[in-house]
């Protein structure tokens, strides 16, 4: 049972009661049946100087800009208010139970709180009859914040209500605006510069910072003689002396005024004049009534002499010694000042007069700013245009009126012209004092209804108070300016803040997380929502929001044509209103968008813009509603695919250009509706994910050699799909690590996984070891499917992953070299593991639901690096590094004695040119190859190109290694931690390169024999062999390579045989043409489609 307002008022102090009245009026305006805490919050926030607002200001979190957060708060309050049911004409909406409970709570709190104890006693003694305690505003606020609705609203805006409570409880620190006031005059703003033009900073020399600092030094007890250092020191010194001479106020502090200056710089070197000067000086010091004398040395360069310049040296010595004597005699009344262009000059001076620094009690004063007249002139010339552009009411304030001196202007030039004009008009009207209705009232008829509403708060106090003394008028003007500033901000000119907000909001629309999606419109509603007012159903309101939001975005596109966009925007808003109103009047249905469609078609062509927005709105609305429907009650396995289908369409559409969208308004609608069935179809096309065998088979088909690992993976994945995975963590995502060697095998497995779940495009790849995430290109082991993520500079890997995840939800995220991840990624991944949300560097969160994370590392769980097959020729590193070059066949005749055994028909020759590899090749010599081929190979080496970039590549890699070493220590512990947290660690075993190589060699031997007809020795270059092995490694099966040997190589051999008529004495050589990229690739394998013949 609601409580009447008057009863509630009795429990409150005057201040709190007035806040309650405001709340009631908010409720009345919105035609709500009851006044609840939200109304109170809304009312409290709308006051410009409310304690709640102030507390929020102190509690804002650093992650967001305060302005943005306030905006968000206002929006979320507005939206929540819109949700409340409306009734017709309640004169004074009674206080709801929840708000009344809050008041009661605050009463109880206040009773308990010690600070008010005595107060309460006074109360009770005064009015013994009524036991009610008058609740103070502070306690009222605190208990309102306890209300769950309120704390939710604050939470949505990124505030934590306990922060705010803390801010309310803690006494506010003295306003920081006092910060510089104590020592300095109040801040000067452009608007109050008009009275005294000389006050313009920089132009008026009396406000010069340089003077202040020089004066400060002069006023000190020790080190009081400044040497000004800096490029502009000379001019600074001159203008300072001028200032002292002309006795300007503020140049010197009190007690130091009435100083006289003597400049000796021009007289140095002229003996007679010099001594006259010193006589004059000592006379003055003794007899003058002045408080002191400043001796200016001018630039120190005049005292510095070159070696051998005896007369000058003498003169300088004289000056220095005289000055030293005088300074000793008149310590209190004599100052020396000099200027040095740079520190080097000063050092030179010191080297010649080493005692000067101590005797003269010098102090170095760096001066950085040119206080010359040139800058003053710059300022003064620019003034007029400054006034025009920055001070919105330049014209107004320059009017010769006694009122035109407000203390400060609260705005920047960020207000738009329209609002400026309106505001100026209004202020002018106020000045005339004739009309009681403000301009905004009149012009508000032209404005959208919701704008009128938001204004009405600020109007009231103004119309009521009609006192005409100057201070209130100024206050009014300020208030007006504030109001218009606010209006302007809410209407037009908050792009920079807003743009960002849009970008933050957009991903949420397409994000899979249904909560986010649902929350999204709520956040952005309030701009548009009040339009809906009483009649509009909630759904329409959310569409309105979308429209509005996107219309902002539309504006963003045209931001370069600012003024034009401004107008268009105004138009947009009013027309958007029209549409939503029409939409709002229609009964709410399952798909209100249908109702809107004809409306749009009926609109004149001039507002296609709005229509476009409508289209965008449709797709977003669809994406919100459909997934939610399919989500509930559908088994897990369906969800993945159904959802995927749903999101696809809206995904594409917002990014397409506006015109295209305008043209195909309807298709998105249809697509979105049909999306769930298409999801089912998708599902049929792939092996049943629940079936372990199917998964295993599919993986095995891709990576034939990793039986054990694949078995584990298949188990984990099938368990994950069926939901029976025993988890260490909470979350609907799957985390695995692939440890050990076999990079290609791991990649293949990841690809296969992506294929099982969706398609190979749903693989997000990032190599965490390289800074830029770009892998060296052109290697044989390049995977086309792993589209080299050309990460943009400035995009961290985290952002890249988050972005990809946003575009392709439910993907397989494949992260290589997890052990080398930088702290940024480490944090991000740990958090994603724990919370199921991936947070990018902007603080946006993306759900990792239904995402499979696969992280790989060559480091084992014990922190050991897996031993790569060093004893073999074919280590994984070498194979990985092999490049895709064209191959060529050459034929040589071999002397009979050179050929040894017939058994070694096919040999691999190594061709390592770099010194680093020499040892390795020597080892090859002794171990594998007989002497005969050894000599041949040496002759072969003559044709080598020594400029090959083999070593370069290695050095680059080494660089990377050393760089990452520093961070390795920290990441070690993190890595172990990470391994402990993931769902499963799978260890891969090394790939049998040697075995594969032998198979291929045998195949080649047979091929050559069959092509030529008899046994011919075949020498294969090491590089080529690497290339072939690498190709075999990344192929699904070795058959493809064998096929390539039988086809491509055979063709090459045949050609060679035709041209050179091979005999038993000839040897066929297969070498790679280094530097020449593949001309054409053979189908299915990363090997050349044809082999050149030399």
Partner 1 sequence: MGNTILEALNVRVVGTSQRPFLVLAHGFGTDQSAWQRILPFFTPHYQVVLYDLVCAGSVNPDYFDFGRYTTLDAYVDDLLTILDALRIDRCAYVGHSVSAMIGILAAIRRPDLFSKLILIGASPRFLNDKDYHGGFEQGEIEKVFTAMEANYEAWVNGFAPLAVGADVPAAVREFSRTLFNMRPDISLFVSRTVFHSDLRGLLGLVRVPCCIIQTAKDVSVPASVAAYLKSHLGGRTTVEILNIEGHLPHLSAPALLARVLQRALLSR
- Interactions with partner 1, residue window 956-985 (CB under 8 A): 963, 966-967, 970
Nearest to 430 by CA among 465, 455, 457, 398: 465
Q: How far is the CB of 674 from partner 1 (least distance, A)?
A: 34
Interaction residues for partner 1, span 627-646 (CB under 8 A): none
DSSP-assigned letter for residue 413:
T
- Exposure of 12 in the CB half-sphere (CA atoms within 13 A): 23
Asked if 218 contacts 238 with a C-beta cutoff of 8 angstroms, the reply is no
DSSP-assigned letter for residue 988:
P
Q: How far is the CB of 177 from partner 1 (least distance, A)?
A: 5
DSSP-assigned letter for residue 86:
B
Per-residue tokens: 491: 């209407």
Cβ nearer to partner 1, comparing 532 with 964: 964
Q: How far is the CB of 344 from partner 1 (least distance, A)?
A: 6
Cα distances from 735 to residues 514, 756, 847, 977, 984, in angstroms, run 22, 16, 14, 13, 7
Distance, in Å, from the CA atom of 915 to the CA atom of 108, rounded to the nearest integer, reads 86
Which listed range, 6-14, 207-215, 268-276, 693-701, lies at the site for partner 1 (CB under 8 A)?
A: 207-215
Cβ nearer to partner 1, comparing 4 with 843: 843
378 binds partner 1 (CB under 8 A): yes
Distance, in Å, from the CA atom of 878 to the CA atom of 1078, rounded to the nearest integer, reads 19
Any idea what the Cα angle at residue 716 is, between residues 715 and 718, rounded to 5°? 65
Distance, in Å, from the CA atom of 771 to the CA atom of 853, rounded to the nearest integer, reads 20
Binding mask 135-174 for partner 1 (x = CB under 8 A): --------------------------------------xx
Asked if 150 contacts 99 with a C-beta cutoff of 8 angstroms, the reply is no
Interaction residues for partner 1, span 386-405 (CB under 8 A): 386, 389-390
Cβ nearer to partner 1, comparing 114 with 174: 174
Which listed range, 217-225, 809-817, 819-827, 929-937, lies at the site for partner 1 (CB under 8 A)?
A: 819-827
Give burial (CB, 10 Å; 0-12/13-18/19+) of 826: buried
How many binding residues for partner 1 (CB under 8 A)?
A: 79
Q: How far is the CB of 230 from partner 1 (least distance, A)?
A: 5
Distance, in Å, from the CA atom of 688 to the CA atom of 695, rounded to the nearest integer, reads 8
375 binds partner 1 (CB under 8 A): yes
207 binds partner 1 (CB under 8 A): yes
Q: Which of 91, 115, 332, 344 binds partner 1 (CB under 8 A)?
A: 344
Q: How far is the CB of 768 from partner 1 (least distance, A)?
A: 10
Helix (H, G, I), strand (E, B) or coil at 228: strand
Cβ nearer to partner 1, comparing 692 with 974: 974
724 sits in which H/E element: none
Cβ nearer to partner 1, comparing 265 with 1022: 265
Cβ nearer to partner 1, comparing 771 with 893: 771
DSSP string for residues in 216-233: HHHTSSSS-EEEEESTTH
Q: How far is the CB of 185 from partner 1 (least distance, A)?
A: 6
Cβ nearer to partner 1, comparing 365 with 812: 365
Which listed range, 374-382, 423-431, 437-445, 617-625, lies at the site for partner 1 (CB under 8 A)?
A: 374-382
Cβ nearer to partner 1, comparing 106 with 415: 415
Cβ nearer to partner 1, comparing 308 with 794: 794
Which listed range, 183-191, 689-697, 872-880, 917-925, lies at the site for partner 1 (CB under 8 A)?
A: 183-191
209 binds partner 1 (CB under 8 A): yes
Q: Which of 17, 102, 167, 232 binds partner 1 (CB under 8 A)?
A: 232
Q: How far is the CB of 180 from partner 1 (least distance, A)?
A: 5
Q: How far is the CB of 994 from partner 1 (least distance, A)?
A: 38
Give burial (CB, 10 Å; 0-12/13-18/19+) of 601: exposed
385 binds partner 1 (CB under 8 A): yes
Nearest to 53 by CA among 43, 45, 61: 45
Asked if 340 contacts 233 with a C-beta cutoff of 8 angstroms, the reply is yes
823 binds partner 1 (CB under 8 A): yes
771 binds partner 1 (CB under 8 A): yes
Which listed range, 381-389, 507-515, 516-524, 659-667, lies at the site for partner 1 (CB under 8 A)?
A: 381-389
Cβ nearer to partner 1, comparing 410 with 1013: 410
184 binds partner 1 (CB under 8 A): yes
Which listed range, 20-28, 309-317, 334-342, 541-549, lies at the site for partner 1 (CB under 8 A)?
A: 334-342
Q: Which of 86, 364, 636, 905 binds partner 1 (CB under 8 A)?
A: 364
Distance, in Å, from the CA atom of 565 to the CA atom of 562, rounded to the nearest integer, reads 5
Any idea what the Cα angle at residue 1049 is, between residues 1045 and 1050, rounded to 5°? 100
366 binds partner 1 (CB under 8 A): yes
Interaction residues for partner 1, span 837-896 (CB under 8 A): 841
Cβ nearer to partner 1, comparing 446 with 841: 841
Cβ nearer to partner 1, comparing 256 with 386: 386
Cβ nearer to partner 1, comparing 507 with 1088: 507
Interaction residues for partner 1, span 904-943 (CB under 8 A): none
**Residues making up the chain, counted from first to last:** 1094
Is the dihedral angle over the CA atoms 684, 689, 695, 699 positive or is it negative?
A: positive
Distance, in Å, from the CA atom of 838 to the CA atom of 512, rounded to the nearest integer, reads 12
Q: How far is the CB of 55 from partner 1 (least distance, A)?
A: 14
929: left (phi over 0), alpha (psi -120 to 50) or beta: beta
Angle between helices 97-112 and 37-46 (to 10 degrees): 70
Nearest to 538 by CA among 83, 149, 76, 75: 83
Distance, in Å, from the CA atom of 624 to the CA atom of 524, rounded to the nearest integer, reads 14
Helix (H, G, I), strand (E, B) or coil at 864: coil
Interaction residues for partner 1, span 779-818 (CB under 8 A): 792-797, 799
Any idea what the Cα angle at residue 994 is, between residues 871 and 907, rounded to 5°? 95
Interaction residues for partner 1, span 450-509 (CB under 8 A): 496-497, 499-500, 503
178 binds partner 1 (CB under 8 A): yes
Which listed range, 5-13, 336-344, 505-513, 869-877, lies at the site for partner 1 (CB under 8 A)?
A: 336-344
Q: How far is the CB of 290 from partner 1 (least distance, A)?
A: 29
DSSP string for residues in 567-580: HHHHHHHHHHHHHH
Which listed range, 177-185, 545-553, 877-885, 1012-1020, lies at the site for partner 1 (CB under 8 A)?
A: 177-185
Q: How far is the CB of 89 from partner 1 (least distance, A)?
A: 43
Under 8 Å CB-to-CB from 685, ≥6 apart: which residues? none
Per-residue tokens: 1062: 């091979």
Asked if 339 contacts 210 with a C-beta cutoff of 8 angstroms, the reply is no
Helix (H, G, I), strand (E, B) or coil at 335: strand
481 sits in which H/E element: helix 470-491
Binding mask 234-253 for partner 1 (x = CB under 8 A): --------------------
Cβ nearer to partner 1, comparing 870 with 966: 966
Interaction residues for partner 1, span 8-47 (CB under 8 A): none
1017: left (phi over 0), alpha (psi -120 to 50) or beta: beta
Q: Strand pairing partners for 262?
A: 295
Interaction residues for partner 1, span 546-585 (CB under 8 A): 559-560, 562
589 binds partner 1 (CB under 8 A): no
379 binds partner 1 (CB under 8 A): yes
185 binds partner 1 (CB under 8 A): yes
């Amino acid at each position: 049972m609601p409580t009447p307002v008057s009863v509630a008022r009795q429990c409150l102090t005057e201040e709190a009661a007035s806040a309650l009245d405001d709340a009631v009026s908010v409720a009345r305006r919105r035609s709500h049946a009851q006044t609840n805490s939200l109304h109170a919050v809304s009312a409290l926030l709308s006051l410009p100087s409310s304690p709640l607002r102030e507390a929020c200001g102190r509690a804002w979190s650093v992650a967001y800009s305060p302005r943005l957060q306030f905006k968000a708060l206002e929006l979320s309050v507005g939206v929540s208010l819109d949700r409340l049911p409306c009734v017709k004409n309640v004169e004074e909406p009674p206080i709801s139970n929840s708000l009344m409970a809050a008041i009661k709570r605050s009463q109880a709190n206040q009773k308990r709180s010690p600070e008010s104890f005595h107060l309460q006693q006074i109360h009770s003694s005064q009015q013994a009859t009524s036991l009610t305690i008058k609740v103070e505003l502070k306690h009222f606020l605190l208990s309102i914040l306890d209300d769950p609705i309120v704390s939710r609203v604050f939470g949505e805006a990124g505030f934590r209500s306990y922060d705010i409570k803390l801010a309310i409880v803690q006494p506010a620190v003295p306003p920081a605006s006092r910060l510089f006031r104590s020592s300095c005059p109040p801040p000067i703003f452009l608007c109050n510069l008009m009275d005294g033009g000389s006050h313009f900073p920089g132009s008026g020399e009396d406000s010069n910072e340089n003077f202040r600092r020089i004066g400060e030094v002069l006023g000190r007890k020790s080190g009081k003689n400044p040497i000004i250092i800096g490029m502009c020191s000379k001019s600074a010194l001159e203008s300072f002396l001028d200032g002292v001479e002309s006795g300007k106020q503020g140049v010197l502090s009190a007690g130091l005024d009435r100083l006289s200056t003597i400049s000796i710089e021009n007289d140095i070197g002229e003996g007679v004049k010099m001594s006259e000067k010193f006589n004059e000086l000592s006379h003055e010091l003794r007899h003058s009534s002045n408080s002191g004398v400043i001796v200016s040395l001018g630039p120190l360069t005049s005292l510095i002499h070159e070696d051998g310049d005896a007369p000058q040296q003498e003169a300088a010595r004289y000056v220095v010694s005289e000055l030293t004597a005088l300074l000793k005699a008149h310590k209190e009344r004599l100052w020396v000042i000099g200027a040095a262009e740079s520190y080097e000059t000063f050092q030179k001076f010191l080297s010649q007069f080493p005692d000067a620094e101590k005797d003269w009690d010098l102090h170095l004063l760096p001066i950085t700013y040119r206080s010359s007249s040139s800058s003053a002139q710059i300022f003064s010339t620019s003034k007029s245009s400054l006034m025009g552009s920055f001070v919105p009411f330049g014209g107004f304030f320059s009017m010769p009126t006694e009122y035109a001196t407000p203390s400060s202007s609260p705005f920047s030039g960020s207000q738009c012209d329209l609002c400026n004009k309106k505001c100026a008009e209004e202020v002018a009207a106020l000045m005339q004092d004739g009309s009681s209705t403000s301009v905004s009232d009149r012009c508000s008829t032209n404005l959208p209804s919701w704008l009128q509403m938001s204004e009405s708060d600020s109007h009231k106090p103004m119309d009521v108070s009609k006192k005409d003394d100057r201070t209130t008028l100024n206050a009014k003007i300020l208030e007006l300016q504030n109001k218009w500033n606010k209006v302007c901000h809410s209407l037009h000119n908050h792009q920079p803040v807003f743009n960002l907000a849009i970008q933050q909001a957009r991903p949420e629309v397409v994000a899979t997380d249904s909560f986010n999606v649902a929350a999204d419109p709520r956040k952005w509603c309030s701009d548009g929502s009040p339009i809906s007012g009483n009649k509009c159903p909630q759904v329409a309101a959310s569409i309105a929001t979308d429209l509005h939001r996107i219309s902002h975005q539309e504006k963003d596109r045209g931001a370069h044509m600012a003024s034009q966009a401004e107008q268009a925007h105004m138009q947009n808003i009013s027309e958007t209103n029209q549409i939503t109103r029409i939409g709002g009047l229609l009964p709410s249905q399952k798909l209100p968008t249908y109702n809107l469609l004809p409306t749009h078609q009926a609109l004149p062509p001039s507002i296609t813009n709005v229509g476009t927005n409508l289209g965008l709105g449709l797709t977003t609305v669809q994406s919100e509603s459909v997934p939610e429907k399919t989500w509930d009650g559908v088994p897990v396995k369906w969800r993945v695919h159904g959802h995927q289908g749903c999101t696809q369409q809206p995904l594409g559409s917002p990014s397409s250009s506006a015109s295209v969208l305008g043209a195909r308004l309807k298709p998105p609608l249809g697509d979105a509706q049909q999306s769930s069935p298409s999801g089912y179809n998708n599902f049929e096309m792939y092996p049943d994910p629940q079936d372990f065998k199917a998964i295993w088979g599919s993986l095995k088909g891709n990576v034939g050699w990793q039986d054990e690992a694949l078995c584990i993976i298949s188990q984990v994945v099938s368990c994950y799909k069926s939901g029976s995975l025993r988890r260490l963590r909470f979350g609907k995502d799957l985390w695995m690590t692939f440890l050990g060697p076999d990079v290609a095998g791991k990649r293949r497995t990841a690809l296969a996984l992506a294929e099982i779940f969706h398609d190979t495009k749903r693989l997000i790849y990032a190599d965490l070891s390289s800074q830029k995430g770009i892998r060296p290109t052109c290697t044989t082991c390049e995977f086309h499917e792993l589209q080299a993520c050309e990460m943009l500079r400035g995009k961290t890997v985290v952002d890249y992953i988050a972005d990809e995840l946003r575009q392709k939800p439910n993907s397989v995220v494949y992260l290589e070299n997890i052990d080398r991840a930088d702290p940024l990624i480490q944090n991000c991944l740990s958090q994603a593991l724990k919370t199921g949300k991936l947070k990018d560097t902007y603080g946006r969160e993306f759900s990792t639901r239904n995402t499979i994370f696969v992280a790989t590392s060559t480091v084992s769980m014990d922190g050991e690096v897996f031993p790569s097959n060093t004893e073999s020729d074919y280590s994984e590193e070498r194979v990985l590094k092999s490049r895709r070059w064209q191959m060529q066949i050459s034929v040589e005749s071999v002397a009979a004695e050179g050929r040894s055994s017939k058994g070694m028909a096919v040999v691999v020759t190594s061709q390592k040119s770099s010194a680093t590899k020499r040892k390795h090749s020597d080892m090859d010599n002794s171990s594998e190859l007989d002497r005969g081929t050894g000599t041949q190979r040496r002759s072969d080496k003559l044709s080598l190109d020594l400029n090959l970039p083999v070593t370069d590549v290695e050095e680059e890699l080494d660089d990377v290694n050393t760089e990452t070493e520093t961070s390795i220590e920290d990441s070690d512990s993190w890595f172990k931690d990470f391994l402990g947290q993931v769902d499963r660690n799978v260890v891969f075993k090394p790939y049998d390169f040697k075995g594969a190589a032998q198979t291929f060699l045998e195949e080649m031997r047979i091929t050559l024999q069959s092509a030529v007809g008899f046994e011919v020795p075949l020498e294969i270059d090491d590089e080529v062999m690497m290339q072939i092995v690498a190709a075999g490694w990344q192929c699904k099966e070795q058959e493809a390579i064998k096929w390539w040997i039988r086809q491509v190589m055979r063709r090459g051999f045949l050609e060679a045989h035709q041209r050179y008529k091979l005999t038993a004495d000839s040897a066929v050589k297969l070498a790679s043409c280094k530097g020449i990229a593949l001309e054409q690739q053979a189908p299915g394998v990363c090997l050349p489609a044809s082999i050149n013949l030399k």
